[in-house]
């Protein structure tokens, strides 16, 4: 066997190895990297076997384009949009991994002066991080707009104080009579199951909104309370 043939066989053997690693990878971000390695190895094998045009197509379309599309899909799908009232989350930690807030800096400064809710946010970040997801906060001006956004599938979950004395008013932490200070409602069954299993019951109470039980008349919008489209940007 010629040395050149040995190198070709060695590089070719990397194809099934990288393919198996890609299939078995549970972290979607690591899977993107492995997909790029797989495409690079495939293009190199095509070039070594004399199919330069196929190698170019694999590199440009099969690898670069597919990875770009996968990255967009992963980034948009692996996030939980949680709707809150203005000043509804009292304390937001800036710069923490796994959380993306659409609240303005003015609102963040105002929220940081209120009661502590870092325990609830920390539990949410930890739960979502275990499943490679991020938390995105979207603010609304009133409860009607918040519920309408959930029904219209603009957000996945709502978070409100268990005892709301007025818009933006929250109970102390912990709340009286052992009641959880926050209530989360989600329309995604899988998220409900995860939160039910992993979130402390002392921090939040949970409910599930079944989309199949909603009629078209239930989907109503409150114009002033809807988020700005820019809030969708992470």
Q: What is the pLDDT of residues 1-58, one digit of tens each?
A: 567 678 888 888 999 999 999 999 988 889 999 999 999 999 999 998 889 899 999 8
- Rounded to the nearest 10°, the torsion over CA 40, 42, 45, 47 is -70
Model confidence at 186: pLDDT above 90: yes
**pLDDT of the residue at 2:** 66
Q: d(Cα 229, Cα 54) in Å, to the nearest integer?
A: 41
Range 79-97+105-164+179-208 has CATH code 3.40.190: yes
**pLDDT of the residue at 97:** 33
- Quick check: 134 and 98 in contact, CB under 8 A? yes
pTM of the model: 0.62
**Residue 208 pLDDT grade (very low, low, confident, very high; cuts 50, 70, 90):** very high
* Mean pLDDT score of the chain: 74
**Residue 178 pLDDT grade (very low, low, confident, very high; cuts 50, 70, 90):** low
């Amino acid at each position: 066997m010629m040395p050149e043939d040995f190198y070709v066989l060695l590089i070719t053997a990397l194809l099934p190895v990288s393919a198996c690693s890609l299939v078995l990878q549970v972290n979607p971000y690591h899977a993107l990297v492995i997909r790029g390695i797989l495409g690079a190895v495939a293009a190199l094998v095509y070039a070594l076997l004399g199919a330069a045009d196929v190698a170019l197509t694999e590199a440009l379309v099969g690898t670069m384009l597919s990875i770009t599309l996968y990255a967009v899909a992963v980034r948009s799908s692996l996030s939980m949009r949680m709707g809150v009232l203005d000043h509804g989350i009292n304390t937001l930690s800036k710069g923490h991994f796994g959380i993306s807030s659409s609240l303005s800096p003015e609102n963040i400064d105002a929220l940081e002066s209120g009661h502590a809710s870092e325990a609830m946010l920390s539990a949410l970040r930890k739960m979502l991080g275990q499943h490679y997801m991020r938390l995105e906060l979207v603010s609304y001006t009133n409860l009607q707009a918040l519920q309408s956004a959930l029904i219209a599938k603009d957000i996945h979950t709502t978070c409100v104080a268990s005892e709301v004395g007025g818009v933006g008013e929250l109970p102390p932490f912990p709340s009286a009579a052992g009641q959880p200070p926050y209530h989360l409602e989600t329309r995604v069954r899988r998220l409900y199951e995860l939160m039910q299993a992993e979130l402390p019951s002392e921090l939040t109470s949970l409910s599930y909104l079944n989309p199949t039980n909603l009629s078209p008349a239930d989907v109503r919008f409150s114009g002033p309370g809807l988020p700005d489209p820019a809030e969708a940007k992470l």
